[in-house]
Amino acid sequence: MTSRSDVAAIIDHTLLKPEATPADVEALVAEAKELGVLAICVSPSMLPVTDPGELVVATVVGFPSGQVKAEVKAAEAVRAVADGAAEVDMVINIGQAIAGDFDGLEADIRGVVEASGDSLVKVIIESAALSDEQIVEVCRRAEAAGAGFVKTSTGFHPAGGASAHAVALMRETVGDRLGVKASGGIRTVEAAEEMIAAGASRLGLSGSAAILNSL
C-alpha cells in the first residue's frame, strides 16, 4: 500500500462544483492544510485565494466543456495567473480531437501555455470521450505545445472520469517528460492506488480526506 504522505504529496484537493461559495473555498483551504496535500484546485471566480499558505493554487480554464474560443481560453489563463494561479488546468476542445483537427487543438493548447507564463499548464483531454488513438495524438500535441501535464478528465463529462487504461496509455505516450494527472471519479484508496500504479503523478480528488484517512 502507498503511504499516506506519498499520496498526499500528489493530491490536488479540488472544489469545482458550480454551487460552491467563498465559504466552501475557505473550508477547502483549511482542510487541505490539515491534510498536508500539495495543491488546491478551485474555479477561476474564486481567485485570488486568501492565505493559501504553502499550498499550490490551481484553477481551470475553458471548463468544463472546452468549447470556448481559443483566444477566450488564453484570456482566462492571463487573468487566472494574475489572480494567483500557479497551475492552470485547461480543457481541450474535445470536438476538435474527435474531428481530427489536431493542428487546431495544438494551437489552442499553445495559446494557453503562452498566456500562462511561468505557471504550469495541465491539459484535460476528457479521455473517456476519446478513442485510444485520439488519446495518444492529443497527448503528443499537448507535449508539442509546451504543456507540463496531461490530465484525464473534468469529472463532469457523462462518458465518465479517469480509468487506469487511459492513465497507462497517457504515461506510455508522454514518458517521463510530462506529468499525468488522474481525476474524475476517484473515490477510494483502491482507485487512487490503481491510478498511481498505472502512471499517475498527480491525483485530482474532491474526497481527499476519505482516501487519506483510509491509509
| HSE, side-chain direction, 13 A CA sphere, residue 120 | 18
Determine which one of 12, 108, 122, 151 is catalytic. Answer: 151
From residue 88, alpha-carbon distances to 109, 174, 214 in Å are: 11, 19, 29
Is the omega angle on the peptide bond into residue 64 within 30 degrees of 0, that is, cis?
A: yes
Determine which one of 89, 108, 118, 176 is catalytic. Answer: 89
Determine which one of 12, 73, 122, 181 is catalytic. Answer: 181
Q: Is 181 a catalytic residue?
A: yes
Given a contact cutoff of 8 angstroms between Cβ atoms, the answer to whether 86 and 117 are in contact is no
DSSP track, 147-173: -SEEE---S--TT-S--HHHHHHHHHH
Q: Is 89 a catalytic residue?
A: yes
Name residue, grid cell 489563463. 77
| HSE, side-chain direction, 13 A CA sphere, residue 173 | 23
Strands 202-205 and 179-183: parallel
Residues with active-site annotation: 89, 151, 181
